[in-house]
Chain A
Amino acid sequence: MKQLNKWYCILFSAVLLTFCIVNVATPQKAFSDNENRPLAQFPMPSAESILSGDFMTDFESYSTDQFIGRDFFITIKAGAERAAGKRENNGVYFGKDSYLIQKVPALDLRTLSTNTAAVKKLSSLDKFNIKVALVPTAYEIEKDKLPAYAYQPVQRDIVSLTSSLFEQSGVALIDPYPVLNEHREEYIYYRTDHHQTAYGGYYTYQVLAQELGFAPYRIEDFTVREMSRSFYGTTWSEATLPDIEPDTIYLFEPNFDISFTTEFIGENKKLEGLYDLEALSQKDKYVMYLGGNHPITKITSSLQNGKKLAVFKDSYAHNIVPFLANHYEEIHMIDPRYYNLDPVAYLEENGITDVLMLYSASNFASDTNLFKISAYIK
């Protein structure tokens, strides 16, 4: 007993000291691929930062972010949560058939009405033809795969509320839900990411095409190429379950003659074509579609039909717009999260009158940057 207690004390002290020393001695990492975010770095203390307490807060972030074996411990935690009967971890449901489905925020009426008001204000200028498309997320379409009782019709409520808020405003609402719902047995949502797959993007495009006034290409008009079979997306990073199969990234290549250039306006960067194939070697392979998030992305096609479209969007648009690009000479994607100048001026400079708002239903109701689209209108 005495002997055992002695060893117990020594073991405990050794564990504490070893972790302490190893944590201090290990060089810090700048970025976590698994979590797809920069990690907190060692904060340099100063009299000011200590007195304000900033140093302490930063040091605590540093202590968990740079903890030795962080990825391993995070997986252990997720495994323990699931073993304890939990149906979710870090805001991601453990769905059936290894679907990791992002939770959706409860309906926030105030933000939704701010956002619809911003769209209506833009519309009241009578200069633009505005259509709003609200794309359901996996939570809505794959609801059969959610844990029991987890589903609530939040996104359907968002669509019907938005529709009534847009009544008699001249803004048209596009709801791809019925079509996506028909195809719900297909691989239209990633299992490990919150986005649609390129197939989901294609079906959404079919709906949009009709509403935008042209006939969509048939699926046979494309050759579907498999770009990667090892995609672990955002919901995987949040749920961090170890035993989930990766997703596949597809690219729809037109069988007809067309070519594109993609420019990131103001960043002095461009892509030949619509895809950033280099992104396939990084963790977040979804960035392949149109090179990820940028303030303004301008897509010029080889078509010479004079048609132009502006798309205010979130990242759900990235695998839908490549299909739309087959019908326009120019598409300008504007992301209000990153673009802080007057978009009306931009549209007028570029002679654009057709505007599409392309958002996931939940983002449209909860994004706090959308007001910017009409913030400069007096």
Chain B
Amino acid sequence: MVFSSVLFLFYFLPVALVLYFITPKRFRNVTLFLVSLVFYAWGEPIYVLIMLFSTVFDFTNGYLIDRYRERSILPKVILIIAIVGNLAILGFFKYADFMINNINSLFGLSIPLLYLPLPIGISFYTFQTMSYSIDVYRGDAPVQKNVFAFGAYVTLFPQLIAGPIVRYNTIAEQLVHREESYDKFASGISRFMTGLGKKVLLANNIGFLWDTIKVLPAGELSTMTAWLGIIAMALQLYFDFSGYSDMAIGLGRMMGFEFMENFNYPYISKSISEFWRRWHISLGTWFKEYVYIPLGGNRVKLPRVFFNLLVVWFLTGLWHGANWNFVLWGLYFFVFIALEKAFLGKLLKKIPAFFQHFYALLVVITGMTFYAVESMPDLLAYLKTLYGFGAGGFMDATFLYQLSSFFPVIIIMIIGCLPQPAQWMRRFATGKRNVIVPILAMILFFLCTAYLVDSTYNPFLYFRF
């Protein structure tokens, strides 16, 4: 089930909220666990069993790690079992066919593919459950002895299918002691509506432009059309993904949770390192906490630092999808981050801010091609066209038509990439003027409903995650 649907907004959400708030406080995690299971089973009636297995498996592992904490080697063994178990689930359901394909082409074999559909959100919840075992092992979080509270954490419907990836130690306390209140609920509504508007009114809108351009033969596009397409894609991904995070944070807040922020205006970055501190923050933090730092992070000799970065970016790329283009995408960022670490970062600081922004945006947007175009020949053709080596010339009627049709939306979205509108809103909506917040939220809700009722186009972008 996705948030941006009539089904979620007008059937699931009212029922779930009513059930949640009529439940006595100490049983609310049970309710949350059960409605979350329904939420997930709606889209994955079979695969919900994997999630239940994962819940029980990691609950047990955490319990055992804590119970045998004093034994010398046992906790470590259990932790390894926990990590291997989670990675095995993820590897089997997400990467099996990818590996078979690679083995086949490497050794000239023809092992049949499994064609398993990818369980939605598996990359998110396996990362969360892994964080639990690791946090308990490290003593960063207390063990959770209530299976429903733990179940609620794993299945938590607000962030189940598209993040943010909530690490256990950031939420352990809230699972047991959280306060719901009108103020939090109200702030949650506003946040949710912001996200819904970003997704339904803006991301879906511009996504239509990218979908139109990506089906044209990449080699025959004009250069300007190719840029328009990839910029549309970059805007779509940001508004869609950060919109989902806003909705997740908002829904969490309605029920008293406070999740970490997942996006922080990534397109105003002045370098690639900065971009990744602002984009999908929960994923970056996860890799930093559980991969980069355990490998030694920055506190090792420079060549080893580069190696650590390489590992992290290879995995980050692969996490986004079981295909080489995603790996390439990760490695592409590794190259720039390594260069910035080596010398480029210092160099950039010396040039005017405008050029720093230009550099960061150019690299990020060009990089979107790796993410968005999955087949290698198409990818190369698209890159060629972007940089003026295509067969379609500089500009054509397609570009002019699409630009004229989408110009206002593009301008609104570019403004939306900046922090100023939100700052301005916060400054304006104080005291009596605060009444504008519910009014705007209701207008947004009304418009989103109109778009969702006529839902001819409402893509879900994270089915590869």
Which A residues lie at the B interface, using CB under 8 A?
1-2, 4-9, 11-13, 15-17, 19-20, 23, 50-53, 56, 59-60, 63-64, 67, 70, 73-74, 76-78, 80, 84-88, 90, 106, 147-152, 240
Which of the candidate stretches B27-35, B263-271, B291-299, B436-444 sits at the interface with the other chain? B436-444
CA of A76 to CA of B434 in the docked complex: distance in angstroms? Answer: 27
8 A-B pairs (CB sep. < 8 Å): A12-B445, A16-B17, A53-B45, A64-B454, A77-B454, A85-B405, A85-B408, A86-B409
Taking a contact as CB atoms under 8 Å apart, the answer to whether A19 and B10 are in contact is yes
Taking a contact as CB atoms under 8 Å apart, the answer to whether A5 and B45 are in contact is no
CA of A128 to CA of B241 in the docked complex: distance in angstroms? Answer: 60
B-chain residues with CB within 8 Å of residue A64 when the two chains form the complex:
6, 452-455
Range, interface on chain B? 35 or more
Which of the candidate stretches B55-63, B71-79, B183-191 sits at the interface with the other chain? B183-191
CA of A56 to CA of B45 in the docked complex: distance in angstroms? Answer: 9
Closest A residue by C-beta to B254: A9
Taking a contact as CB atoms under 8 Å apart, the answer to whether A149 and B404 are in contact is yes
Among A23, A64, A80, the one with the most B-chain Cβ atoms within 10 Å of its Cβ is A64
Taking a contact as CB atoms under 8 Å apart, the answer to whether B397 and A16 are in contact is no
A-chain residues with CB within 8 Å of residue B186 when the two chains form the complex:
4-6, 8-9
Could you say which of A19, A60, A70 contacts B5, with CB atoms under 8 Å apart? A60
Could you say which of B10, B407, B408, B451 contacts A77, with CB atoms under 8 Å apart? B451
Q: How far is the CB of A231 from chain B (nearest CB, A)?
A: 22
B-chain residues with CB within 8 Å of residue A4 when the two chains form the complex:
186, 434-435, 438
Q: A1-B434, A148-B401 are in contact. List 11 more A-B contacts (CB 8 A).
A: A4-B438, A6-B182, A8-B182, A16-B9, A53-B45, A77-B450, A80-B450, A87-B401, A147-B405, A148-B400, A240-B454
CA of A53 to CA of B451 in the docked complex: distance in angstroms? Answer: 25
B42 within 8 A of A: yes
Q: How far is the CB of A103 from chain B (nearest CB, A)?
A: 10
Closest A residue by C-beta to B401: A149
CA of A80 to CA of B205 in the docked complex: distance in angstroms? Answer: 11
Closest B residue by C-beta to A51: B45
Given A16-B14, A147-B401, A67 contacting B409 (CB threshold 8 A): no
Taking a contact as CB atoms under 8 Å apart, the answer to whether A15 and B442 are in contact is yes
Closest B residue by C-beta to A85: B408
B-chain residues with CB within 8 Å of residue A20 when the two chains form the complex:
10-11, 14-15
B-chain residues with CB within 8 Å of residue A60 when the two chains form the complex:
5-7
CA of A64 to CA of B2 in the docked complex: distance in angstroms? Answer: 14
Taking a contact as CB atoms under 8 Å apart, the answer to whether B441 and A12 are in contact is yes
Q: How far is the CB of B218 from chain A (nearest CB, A)?
A: 15
B419 within 8 A of A: no
B43 within 8 A of A: yes
Closest A residue by C-beta to B5: A60
CA of A341 to CA of B260 in the docked complex: distance in angstroms? Answer: 64
Top-4 shortest CB links A-B: A149-B401, A5-B186, A85-B408, A76-B450
Taking a contact as CB atoms under 8 Å apart, the answer to whether A73 and B454 are in contact is yes
Taking a contact as CB atoms under 8 Å apart, the answer to whether A73 and B10 are in contact is no
Q: How far is the CB of A79 from chain B (nearest CB, A)?
A: 9
B-chain residues with CB within 8 Å of residue A17 when the two chains form the complex:
14, 18
Closest B residue by C-beta to A6: B182
Taking a contact as CB atoms under 8 Å apart, the answer to whether B43 and A16 are in contact is no
B109 within 8 A of A: no
B-chain residues with CB within 8 Å of residue A86 when the two chains form the complex:
405-406, 409
Taking a contact as CB atoms under 8 Å apart, the answer to whether B405 and A51 are in contact is no
A-chain residues with CB within 8 Å of residue B398 when the two chains form the complex:
149
Could you say which of B10, B45, B189, B408 contacts A84, with CB atoms under 8 Å apart? B408
